[in-house]
Chain A
Amino acid sequence: MATVHSPRIKAKHQRLVLLVIALAVVLLAGLLAAWALRSQASYFYVPSEIVAKPPEADRFVRLGGMVEKGSLKTAPDGVTIRFVVGDGKSRVPVSFSGIVPSLFVEGSGVVAEGRMQPGGTFKADNLLAKHDENYVPREMQNMTQAQARKVVAETQ
Chain B
Amino acid sequence: MIAELGLAALWLAAALAVLQLVGGALALTARGSALGDLVRPVAVVQGLLALVAFAALIRVFAVTDLSVRLVALNSHSMKPLVFKIAAAWGNHEGSMLLWVTVMGLAGGFVALVERRLPERTMLATLAGQAFVSLGFYAFLLIASNPFERLATPPAEGNGLNPLLQDLGLAFHPPTLYLGYVGLSVAFSFAIGALVTREVGPAFARAMRPWVLGAWIFLTLGITAGSYWAYYELGWGGWWFWDPVENASLMPWLAATALLHSCGVLAARNALRAWTIMLGVVAFSMSMVGTFLVRSGILTSVHAFAVDPQRGTFILALLAINIGGALTLFGLRAGTVTEGERFAVVSREGALVMNNVLLSAILGIVLFGTLYPLAAEAMGAKVSVGPPYFNPVSALFFVPMLVVLAVGPLLRWRQDKLDRIGKGLALPAAMVVVALLAVLMIGGAGLLPYLGLALGAGLAVASFLPLRDRNLRRTPLPIWGMVIAHFGVAVALLGMASESAYSVERLVALRVGESTAVGPWSVRLASVDPVAGPNWTALEGKLEVRYAGGAVEVARPQARNFWAPAQQTSESSLLTRWNGQLYSVLGEEASDNRWQVRLWWKPFVTLIWLGGMLIALGGVLAVIGHVLSDWRRIVARSRIADRRESQGR
A62 → chain B, closest Cβ, in Å?
6
A2 within 8 A of B: no
Chain B positions 252-303 with a Cβ under 8 Å from a chain A Cβ:
298-299, 301, 303
For chain B, the count of residues having a C-beta within 8 Å of the partner chain is 57
Q: Given A21-B356, A36-B391, A97-B506, do A42 and B384 touch, yes or no (CB 8 Å)?
A: yes
Give the nearest-CB partner of B161 in chain A: A132
Complex: A125 Cα to B569 Cα, angstroms: 18
Q: Given A99-B569, A132-B161, do A33 and B506 touch, yes or no (CB 8 Å)?
A: no
Contact residues in B for A25 (Cβ distance below 8 Å): 356-357, 360, 396
Complex: A102 Cα to B162 Cα, angstroms: 13
* Structural contact, B383 and A44, CB atoms closer than 8 A: yes
Complex: A41 Cα to B361 Cα, angstroms: 18
* Structural contact, A100 and B587, CB atoms closer than 8 A: yes
Determine which of A33, A44, A128 lies in contact with B392 in the assembled complex, contact meaning CB atoms within 8 Å. Answer: A33
* Structural contact, B381 and A43, CB atoms closer than 8 A: yes
Complex: A22 Cα to B161 Cα, angstroms: 45
Contact residues in A for B536 (Cβ distance below 8 Å): none
A71 within 8 A of B: no
Contact residues in A for B344 (Cβ distance below 8 Å): 14, 17-18
B268 → chain A, closest Cβ, in Å?
13
A37 within 8 A of B: yes
B173 within 8 A of A: no
Contact residues in B for A36 (Cβ distance below 8 Å): 388, 391-392
Q: Given A21-B356, A131-B303, do A78 and B381 touch, yes or no (CB 8 Å)?
A: no
Chain B positions 334-369 with a Cβ under 8 Å from a chain A Cβ:
341-344, 349, 352-353, 356-357, 359-361, 363-364, 367-368
Contact residues in A for B589 (Cβ distance below 8 Å): 74, 78-79
Contact residues in A for B343 (Cβ distance below 8 Å): 11, 14
- Interface-facing stretch out of A82-90, A134-142, A148-156: A134-142
Q: Given A33-B364, A102-B568, do A41 and B381 touch, yes or no (CB 8 Å)?
A: no
* Structural contact, A77 and B508, CB atoms closer than 8 A: yes
Contact residues in B for A62 (Cβ distance below 8 Å): 383
Chain B positions 393-412 with a Cβ under 8 Å from a chain A Cβ:
395-396
Give the nearest-CB partner of B367 in chain A: A33
A82 → chain B, closest Cβ, in Å?
14
Determine which of B299, B342, B388, B591 lies in contact with A41 in the assembled complex, contact meaning CB atoms within 8 Å. Answer: B388
Q: Given A14-B344, A44-B383, A99-B584, do A78 and B595 touch, yes or no (CB 8 Å)?
A: yes
Complex: A123 Cα to B226 Cα, angstroms: 28
B311 → chain A, closest Cβ, in Å?
13
* Structural contact, A79 and B506, CB atoms closer than 8 A: yes
Query: What is the 8 Å Cβ interface bit string for chain A, positions 26-65, against chain B (1 contact, 0 not)?
Result: 1011101110110011111000000000000000101000
B182 within 8 A of A: no
Contact residues in A for B507 (Cβ distance below 8 Å): 77-79
Complex: A56 Cα to B65 Cα, angstroms: 56
6 A-B pairs within 8 Å (CB atoms) are namely: A37-B384, A60-B387, A79-B507, A102-B566, A132-B564, A135-B303
